[in-house]
């Protein structure tokens, strides 16, 4: 699908089409292809041309897109303009195709991925999506599943049996946060694997001896996500409620801004190299094959510097800028005491510039000045955020990339309420502002 700036409908479509990390990355690839991008590899960067769009998928978990301008200016060194976000968000991951039995109910076995707010998952319709690997007569294959079909629910316990539920209920993921799959019956524990096999055969058109059986399923990467579509809400349609705004909101803003710049750029554009990164596994620490701690980012930057500049990569990065984009915390109207009273962040007030002297955010004073100047010159609304000094904030990919690349960095993100709940809450205006920020940054 095409990614469009300042279109709420386009953003909602993006959210609908990307329930898992696989689907986010597939959507980005499709958008880059539609924009005329050419798939390449780290080795292939040496043959890349100025004025052409390229992208590199890596490790089933991250992607880089880049575009080197054709312009030239005397007494100016070409630099990198990099923006990065993450594609994952907190969900319930399916652990096994086996089902748990009890009280005549079959339940899916799950684990918590990322720091989700558990109580927001009960009594909500859930759907299963992700990827399943299986064996055929011709070798190993996989299928992407956007929606397995049936809906599942995690039923809560009645207040009559748990009178203290409104005093702060606690939910065990191992024992209580399990979606009910169906009623128990003969061979009940094998029903889930059978459903997966039937889905594969139906989608792939397998019949007869080619049919996949439950025993042919080799591995799964399936998530239980909220089945309800993202929606616009509020008296004037000013809000967006959806699962996984953190951080698909920033992914859309970066790549929509990047592709808009590429479509509108010409020979007069500077010779700087524009780069857009998306990484997996931020919500569990980024220490993975496709996370921000992989060597992919550093090696991509090295090859780009070798191809498009005549300077050492660290010298180039010292003159360059990275914007790390991950949703930020708005001051909650019901819990204002949890925020720093000197730096309130309001919904609809523009993108948030995050700072922390303890480096949980990587924003430096020089980078902060760059960002403030960029926003001021382009009429982009922004706000400044610092954590309540008694509360340590969450982490993000900014410090990881800043350290790996030796590059000045700002950590930013849209103001958000209900972060890590089953549905999160931001404004339409802030989402549009973020896209326009990245369009201006790449320009």
Q: What is the DSSP string of 87-111?
A: ----EEEEEEEEEEEETTEEEEEEE
d(CA 270, CA 79): 10
d(CA 283, CA 114): 5
Which helix H or strand E contains 242, and what residues bound it? Answer: strand 239-242
List the domain boundaries for the chain.
8-89+243-442, 91-226
What does the block give as tokens for 352? Answer: 């948030």
Model pLDDT for residues 79-89, shown as the tens digit of each residue: 999 999 999 99
At residue 389, the pLDDT reads: 80
Which helix H or strand E contains 425, and what residues bound it? Answer: strand 424-427
Instruction: Show pLDDT as tens, one digit a residue, over the chain (443 residues).
Output: 999 999 999 999 999 999 999 999 999 999 999 999 999 999 999 999 999 999 999 988 899 999 999 876 555 688 999 999 999 999 999 999 999 999 999 999 999 999 999 999 999 999 999 999 999 988 999 999 999 999 999 999 999 999 988 998 899 999 999 999 999 987 778 999 999 999 999 999 999 999 999 999 999 999 999 999 999 999 999 999 999 999 999 999 999 999 999 999 865 578 999 999 999 999 999 999 999 999 999 999 999 999 999 999 999 999 999 999 999 999 999 999 999 888 899 999 999 999 887 787 889 999 999 999 999 999 999 999 888 887 777 789 999 999 999 999 999 999 999 999 999 999 999 999 999 999 999 99
For the question of whether the overall pTM of this predicted structure is more than 0.75, the answer is: yes
At residue 394, the pLDDT reads: 72
Domain 91-226 homologous superfamily, CATH: Aminopeptidase i, Domain 2 (2.30.250.10)
At 124 the three-state DSSP class reads coil
Total residues found in the chain within this entry: 443
At residue 188, the pLDDT reads: 78
At residue 266, the pLDDT reads: 61
Q: What is the DSSP string of 378-396?
A: TT--EEEE---TTS-----
At residue 8, the pLDDT reads: 98
At residue 64, the pLDDT reads: 98
CATH 3.40.50.10860 is right for the domain spanning 8-89+243-442: no
At residue 73, the pLDDT reads: 57
Torsion-angle region of 178 (φ positive above 0: left; ψ -120 to 50: alpha; else: beta): beta
CA distances, 407 to each of 21, 238, 316 (Å): 27, 36, 9
E-state strands within 117-194 = 126-136, 139-145, 180-183
At residue 72, the pLDDT reads: 65
Burial class (CB in 10 A: 0-12, 13-18, 19+), 69: buried
At residue 74, the pLDDT reads: 55
d(CA 338, CA 161): 32
At residue 168, the pLDDT reads: 85
Bridge partners of 275, per DSSP, are 66, 82
At residue 381, the pLDDT reads: 97
């Amino acid at each position: 699908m095409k990614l469009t700036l300042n279109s709420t409908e386009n953003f909602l479509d993006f959210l609908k089409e990307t329930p898992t990390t696989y689907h986010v990355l597939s959507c980005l690839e499709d958008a880059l292809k539609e924009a005329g991008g050419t798939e390449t590899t780290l080795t292939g960067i040496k043959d890349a041309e100025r004025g052409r769009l390229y992208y590199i998928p890596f490790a089933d978990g991250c992607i880089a897109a880049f575009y080197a301008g054709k312009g030239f200016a005397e007494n100016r060194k070409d630099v990198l303009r990099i923006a990065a976000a993450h594609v994952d968000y907190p969900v319930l991951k399916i652990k096994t195709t086996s089902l748990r039995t009890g009280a005549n109910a079959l339940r899916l076995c799950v684990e918590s991925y990322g720091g989700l707010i558990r109580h927001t998952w009960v009594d909500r319709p859930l759907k299963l999506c992700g990827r399943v690997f299986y064996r055929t007569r011709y070798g190993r294959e996989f299928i992407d599943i956007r929606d397995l079909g049936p809906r599942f629910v995690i039923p809560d316990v009645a207040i009559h049996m748990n009178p203290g539920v409104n005093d702060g209920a606690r939910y065990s993921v191992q024992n209580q946060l399990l979606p009910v799959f169906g009623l128990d019956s003969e061979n009940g524990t094998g029903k889930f694997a059978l459903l997966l096999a039937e889905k594969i055969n139906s989608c792939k058109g397998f019949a007869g001896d080619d049919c996949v059986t439950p025993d042919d399923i080799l591995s799964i990467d399936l998530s239980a996500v909220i089945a309800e579509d993202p929606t616009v809400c509020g008296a004037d349609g000013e809000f967006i409620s959806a699962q996984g705004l953190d951080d698909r909101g920033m992914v859309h803003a970066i790549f929509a801004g990047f592709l808009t710049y590429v479509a509108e750029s010409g020979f007069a554009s500077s010779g700087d190299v524009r780069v857009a990164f998306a990484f997996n596994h931020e919500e569990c620490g980024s220490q993975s094959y496709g996370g921000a701690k992989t060597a992919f980012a550093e090696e991509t930057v090295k090859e780009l510097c070798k191809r498009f500049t005549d300077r050492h990569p660290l010298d180039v990065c010292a003159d360059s800028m990275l914007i790390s984009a991950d949703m930020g915390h708005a001051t909650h109207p019901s819990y204002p005491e949890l925020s720093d009273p000197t730096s309130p962040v309001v919904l609809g007030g523009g993108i948030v510039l995050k700072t922390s002297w303890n480096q949980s955010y990587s924003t430096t004073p020089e980078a902060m000045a760059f960002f403030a100047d960029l926003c001021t010159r382009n009429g982009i609304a922004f706000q400044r955020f610092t954590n309540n000094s008694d509360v340590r904030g969450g982490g993000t990919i900014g410090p990881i990339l800043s350290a790996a690349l030796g590059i000045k960095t700002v950590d930013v993100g849209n103001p958000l309420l209900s972060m890590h709940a089953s549905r999160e809450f931001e404004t339409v205006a802030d989402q549009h502002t973020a896209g326009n920020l990245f369009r201006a940054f790449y320009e």
